[in-house]
Amino acid sequence: MRISPLADDLARLFAQAGHRLYLVGGSVRDALLGRLSSDLDFTTDALPEQVLGIVSRWADAVWETGIEFGTVGITKRGATLEITTFRADTYDRVSRNPEVRFGDSIEGDLLRRDFTVNAMAIELSTKQFVDPHNGLAALADRVLDTPATPQESFADDPLRMLRAARFVSQLGFSPAPRVVEAMREMAGEIDRITAERVQTELSKLLTGAHPRRGLELMVDTGLAERVLPEMPGMRLAIDEHHQHKDVYQHSLTVLEQAIALEKRDDPDAEPDLVLRLAALLHDIGKPATRRFEPGGGVSFHHHEVVGAKIVRKRLRALRYSKQIVDDVSQLVFLHLRFHGYGKGEWTDSAVRRYVTDAGPLLSRLHKLVRADCTTRNKRKAAALQRTYDELEERITRIAAEEDLARVRPDLDGNEIMKLLNLPPGPLVGQAWRYLKELRLDRGPLSHEEAVAELRRWAEENGIG
């Protein structure tokens, strides 16, 4: 197994000081999977003050923000390393905050870790492999299990249930039956965890390689009811095409298709959290807008409007950033707009509005709309994709002619104030918005046309 030269250097320093140093946790797991990163985790029998004495001259930088939990962080030649004294914590099982106690053995330290695949260590001076909980076998079998019983593990830290779903997504592992059973029994314990920590795990799950698997585990165990209740709620609604078991399954399919489009456009790009959230939640408004029509049909009128509001509320509750909340809710709001395009009936004005309303989200909106085409009728699916191809071609043509990325009125605020003899204020904004709407409807105007339209608008509104 390849281990960083930095680890060897550090091991020598600890051995010279009479201490043992172990590579531990996810660092060992990833090394065994052949993907060791430059961010490494270590554990040691040295106390935090002793660790500081050993690394202070060797490291490029040292920080002590986690020292009360026994962790010293360092950087060396661009790598980030964390060294934690053996832990033997106890938990009050009311919060997830441990009563920090330092341990005296690597075996005791590994017992308190979340999953057996993260409970392996390598003693770096001798390269001895330490695996008291058969983590290597679990890694080979791609199974997620806990060192202690899952009930003990999740009672100590309920966030581990979400971490289980996250690892299912990131690693493609299957949870052991006893882990799934404990998650079902204890799903309500997740309420002890702050929204910020839940959001972090959910984001990591969504940007993993297999997010559908992680989300299905959350729904099947009841975790989603506590974290993202609108997701299992979508199982109540049959979609309008009657082509899917329910809106929930349809949404998971759209998520997978959006990910495929991500990779198609740029195989090396980082996972797009905003697109993935929008794909998962684009039909979140359907249960609230479902109507059974005469003749056996089902409608979901304005579900994109209702959905955008629900998305905004839920993502705020999960403490997502304002930018993510705004972007995801706008994509959900716009995802049905294309279906009014028909066979190309939109005017150039409608195309301009589509582009302007999407703004910097346009490329994501393209992917979302294409991913949302999940009909099993191959001819219909191909026709929808061709129609969207035509829309994109029109957008490209109009953009080349008019610079759609920066649609602005043909007169700026200073010109408006000068022409109408207005001071800065709300009237200038009204005039500016009027000219922008005109620009969207008719395309670029000459300066003379814009001035004439402004004066006509001012006269009609008794201004100037």
For residue 156, give its domain range.
Answer: 144-227
Flag whether pLDDT at 83 surpasses 60: yes
Q: Is residue 316 situated within a structural domain?
A: yes
pLDDT for res 202: 98
**Domain containing residue 124: CATH number:** 3.30.460.10
Query: How many of the other CB atoms lie within 10 Å of CB of 225?
Result: 17
Query: What is the 8-class DSSP label of residue 291?
Result: E
Examine the fold and report which residue of 141, 176, 201 is the final residue of a domain before the chain moves on: 141
Residue 237 has pLDDT above 80, yes or no: no
Mean pLDDT, residues 216-231: 97
Q: Is the pLDDT of residue 324 over 80?
A: yes
Residue 242 counted as domain residue = no
114, 141, 168 — which closes off a domain?
A: 141
How many whole angstroms separate alpha carbon 325 and alpha carbon 317?
Answer: 10
CB under 8 A, 24+ apart: contacts of 237-244: 237/283, 237/286, 237/287, 237/290, 237/298, 237/300, 238/298, 239/283, 239/286, 239/298, 240/297, 240/298, 240/299, 240/300, 241/375, 242/298, 243/374, 243/375, 243/376, 243/377, 244/374
The answer to whether the beta carbons of residues 409 and 375 sit under 8 Å apart is: no
In this structure, what token pair is assigned to residue 45? 């029998």
> What's the full length of the chain, in residues?
464
Same domain, 314 and 447: no
Percent of residues, the chain, with pLDDT higher than 90: 61
What does the alpha-carbon distance between residue 449 and residue 181 come to, in Å, rounded to a whole number? 71
439 occurs within a structural domain? yes
Same domain, 316 and 393: yes
Amino acid at 276: R
Q: What is the pLDDT of residues 283-294, one digit of tens each?
A: 999 988 888 778
| Cα dihedral 187, 188, 192, 197 sign | positive
Claim to verify: residue 380 and residue 423 sit in the same structural domain: no
Task: Please determine, for residue 85, whether its predicted confidence score (pLDDT) is greater than 80.
Answer: yes
Q: Quick: pLDDT tens for 5-32.
A: 889 999 999 999 999 999 999 999 998 9
Residues 170, 64 within the same domain: no
Mean pLDDT computed over 452-462: 89
Residue 300 and residue 331 in one domain: yes
Binning pLDDT at 50, 70 and 90, where does residue 403 land?
low
Q: Does 162 lie in the same domain as 39?
A: no
User: What local confidence, expressed as pLDDT, does residue 413 receive?
Assistant: 86
Are both 181 and 305 inside the same structural domain? no
Q: What is the pLDDT of residue 381?
A: 85
Residue 308 shares a structural domain with residue 341: yes
- 348 lies in some domain: yes
Burial 112-134 (b: 16+ CB within 10 A, else e): bbbbbbbbbbbebeeeeebbebb
The pLDDT confidence band at residue 295, using thresholds 50, 70 and 90, is confident
Q: How much is the pLDDT for 244? A: 43
The verdict on 132 and 155 lying in the same domain is no
CA–CA separation, 284 and 278 (whole Å): 10
> Does position 89 have pLDDT exceeding 50, yes or no?
yes
pLDDT (0 to 100) of residue 463: 84
How far is Cα of residue 64 from the mean position of the Cα atoms in its chain? Answer: 29
Q: Report the Cα 241 to chain-centroid distance in Å.
A: 28
Per-residue pLDDT of 239-282, as tens digits, reads 444 544 489 999 999 999 999 999 998 888 899 999 999 999 99
Instruction: Check residue 99 and give its pLDDT.
Output: 72
Query: What's the confidence (pLDDT) of residue 1?
Result: 56
Q: Are residues 28 and 113 in the same domain?
A: yes
Same structural domain, 269 and 355:
yes
In order of 48, 67, 134, 289, the CA distances from 273 in angstroms are 37, 32, 34, 26
Residue 255 lies in a domain: no
Residues 342-360: what's their mean pLDDT? Answer: 87
Q: How far apart are CA 452 and CA 440, in angstroms?
A: 17
Give 346's DSSP letter. Answer: -
Domain-located, residue 237: no
The answer to the question of residue 232 being in a domain is: no
Per-residue confidence (pLDDT) for residue 246, from 0 to 100: 81
Nearest to 211 by CA among 159, 171, 154: 171
Which residue, chain included where needed, has tokens 């899917």?
244
Lowest-confidence range among 125-139, 230-244, 319-333, 410-424? 230-244
Position 227 pLDDT exceeds 70 = yes
- pTM for this prediction: 0.83
pLDDT higher than 80, residue 350: yes
Find the helix packing angle between 413-420 and 447-460, rounded to 10°: 60
Residue 464 has pLDDT above 70, yes or no: no
Domain end: 406, 429, 445, which one?
406
Whole-number mean pLDDT of the chain? Answer: 90
Query: Total structural domains in the chain?
Result: 4
Q: Are residues 298 and 316 in the same domain?
A: yes
Name the nearest CA neighbour of 439 among 403, 410, 400.
410
Domain contains 235? no
Question: With pLDDT > 70 as the criterion, what percentage of the chain qualifies?
Answer: 93
